[in-house]
Amino acid sequence: MKLEQRKENKMGTMPVSKLLLTMSLPIMISMLVQAMYNIVDSVFVAQYSANGLTAVSLAFPVQNLMIAVGVGTSIGVNSLLSRKLGERHFDDANAAAENGLMLAVLSAIAFAVFGAFCSRMFFQAFTQNEQILEMGTQYLTICTTLSFGAFIQLTSERILQATGKTFWNMISQGVGAIINIILDPIMIFGLLGFPELGVAGAALATVIGQWIAMGCALFFNFKFNHEVHINFRKFRPNWRIVGEIYQVGIPSIVMQSIASIMTFGVNKILIPFTEVAVSVFGVYFKLQSFIFMPVFGLTSGMVPIVGYNFGAGKKERIIHTIKDACIYAVALMGLGLVVFQLFPAQLISIFSNGEELGQMLEIGVPALRIISISFIGAGIAIVFSSVFQAIGNGILSLIMSVIRQLVVLLPAAWLLSKIGLSMVWWSFPIAEIFSTGLALLMYRSVYRKMIQPLVPIDEQR
């Protein structure tokens, strides 16, 4: 690995508090826009058809699995790329970007095959309602077979994040989300002379937005990202780099895929009560994304800072970054807690065309209030999970996720369902207590073994 002389990246020199805000705010803004488009998407579908909302809610585990693979792989790219920049190994940084894009294409191919042949079978595992089956199959087939835009967009944006170019990341995400929001009502309801496509229109609006965002992110990397040089003319897969990407990426993929398993399991627990309960659970995930996305934006800005300074051996900057991130995360999640406690009925009402509003409010109001109790602990756990990924120890993040969602949450939800539907929601706060405590214990061990012994790279020469 060649060690080159180059002006040090701002992640190793700019004051930490200013750097974290500079890196995170553009990503947080873009993720808020993303969360808004997720909500708007479901609002339009709910206005079109109550069964359409149920179909989209049932499709969420597969969409979440796609996000898990795309985000998990791109987190591996982000972590590796930022560490190689900190170590001054610029050839490996370039290889991380190129091989990451290759992995994005391969992931999209795999999901396109699944979507083309297995979408209807997936929905048949939940319901025999023909309208839900038809709408769901159309929606999921479009989202999976045309997923190239989503996967390449995610990796391209993480490359921008890893090198500190978060402003351009904000632009690409924002443009894609705004295009989606504009196209949603046009394609769903058939406005401006466009044919009425219903739920299929929502899927097409989504993938068109993703493809446009992909184009923007690729353009910004080639035009403005001078820290990394991507060249596919002489590209050959580098399996050592792929292995290092997946050292963090696979635990991240599995960790986020567990959310799909959890969602699938909770839907199976809820649907015997009523299909409305599934819709409420889907609505909760849309709403909570508006709270969680800014925190994910914060940690997305934090990861390259921690990774770069870990590679450069600057432990004081790492500790300062983690402390600031915890403070901001708790503040954001606290705000979300207040909103969910005070305005649950208003939030639920956004997602109903009046057909089942009474039942949705009866189920959804207590659900939102109970689940939101877990928000503060979740913010802390997300920060520490991202720290583990940033320093290349993604297995700890995986362990946290497995314990929270599979060992605690799903069994608790199943047991509490024996008492009644309203008790199922308490599984979320219960799981978060375990996850937060485990995160604190893990960080204490990581600090002693990996962060405290660090020596600045300039003093190693």
What would the pLDDT profile of 70-110 be if each residue is shown by its tens digit? 888 888 888 788 888 877 788 888 888 989 999 999 999 99
Q: Is the pLDDT of residue 209 over 50?
A: yes
Q: Is 136 contained in some domain?
A: yes
pLDDT attached to residue 140: 93
pLDDT attached to residue 4: 45
- Contact of 58 with 280, CB cutoff 8 Å: no
Question: What is the spatial distance between Cα 203 and Cα 41, in angstroms, rounded to a whole number?
Answer: 9
Range from 17-31, 102-116, 149-163, 170-184 carrying the lowest mean pLDDT: 17-31
Q: Is 443 contained in some domain?
A: yes
pLDDT attached to residue 353: 61
Question: Treating both helix axes as pointing N-terminal to C-terminal, what angle do 130-145 and 50-86 enclose, rounded to 10 degrees?
Answer: 20
Q: Is 52 contained in some domain?
A: yes
Selected residue with higher pLDDT from 91 and 335? 335
pLDDT attached to residue 3: 42
pLDDT attached to residue 395: 83
- 250 CB-side CA count, 13 A: 6
pLDDT attached to residue 372: 93
Q: Is 369 contained in some domain?
A: yes
Long-range contacts of 424-428, Cβ-Cβ distance < 8 Å, separation of 24 or more: 424/266, 424/269, 424/270, 425/366, 425/367, 425/370, 425/371, 426/370, 428/370, 428/371, 428/373, 428/374
Q: Is 2 contained in some domain?
A: no
Range from 115-129, 211-225, 316-330 carrying the lowest mean pLDDT: 115-129
Q: Is the pLDDT of residue 7 over 70?
A: no
pLDDT attached to residue 375: 93
Q: Is the pLDDT of residue 197 over 70?
A: yes
37 phi-psi bin (left φ>0, alpha ψ -120 to 50, beta other): alpha
Number of domains the chain is built from: 1
For the ranges 270-284, 287-301, 374-388, the maximum mean pLDDT occurs at: 374-388
Residue type, position 329, single letter? A
Angstrom distances, CA of residue 368 to CA of 6, 188, 195, 203, 231: 51, 28, 36, 27, 48
Question: Which residue range is the domain that position 328 belongs to?
Answer: 13-455
pLDDT band for 301, please (50, 70, 90 cuts).
confident
pLDDT attached to residue 458: 65
pLDDT band for 2, please (50, 70, 90 cuts).
very low
Q: Is the pLDDT of residue 384 over 70?
A: yes
pLDDT attached to residue 283: 84
Q: Is the pLDDT of residue 8 over 60?
A: no
Percent of the chain with pLDDT over 90: 36
pLDDT attached to residue 1: 42
Alpha carbon 99 to chain centroid, angstroms: 21
Q: Is the pLDDT of residue 274 over 50?
A: yes
Range from 18-22, 31-35, 184-188, 389-393 carrying the lowest mean pLDDT: 31-35
Tokens of 69: 């693979």
Q: Is the pLDDT of residue 328 over 70?
A: yes
Mean pLDDT of 344-367: 83
pLDDT attached to residue 321: 93
CA angle 62-66-70, nearest 5°? 165
Angstrom distances, CA of residue 90 to CA of 83, 86, 93: 10, 9, 5
Q: Is 6 contained in some domain?
A: no
Residue type, position 428, single letter? F
- Note the pTM of the prediction, 2 decimals: 0.71
Q: Is the pLDDT of residue 396 over 80?
A: yes
- Contact of 222 with 101, CB cutoff 8 Å: no
Range from 89-103, 160-174, 193-207, 372-386 carrying the lowest mean pLDDT: 160-174
pLDDT attached to residue 225: 83
Mean pLDDT of 130-135: 90
Q: Is the pLDDT of residue 392 over 80?
A: no
Question: What is the spatial distance between Cα 266 and Cα 278, in angstroms, rounded to a whole number?
Answer: 8
pLDDT attached to residue 185: 92
pLDDT band for 165, please (50, 70, 90 cuts).
confident
H or E element that contains 323: helix 315-342
pLDDT attached to residue 290: 83
Q: Is 3 contained in some domain?
A: no
pLDDT band for 428, please (50, 70, 90 cuts).
very high
Q: Is the pLDDT of residue 334 over 90?
A: yes
pLDDT attached to residue 186: 94
Q: Is the pLDDT of residue 459 over 70?
A: no
Q: Is 7 contained in some domain?
A: no
Average pLDDT score, the chain: 86
Q: Is the pLDDT of residue 5 over 70?
A: no
Mean pLDDT of 211-227: 91
pLDDT attached to residue 9: 58
Selected residue with higher pLDDT from 25 and 328? 328
pLDDT attached to residue 323: 94
Q: Is the pLDDT of residue 393 over 60?
A: yes
Question: Residue 432, class by beta-carbon neighbours within 10 Å (0-12 exposed, 13-18 middle, 19+ buried)?
Answer: buried
- Contact of 300 with 329, CB cutoff 8 Å: no
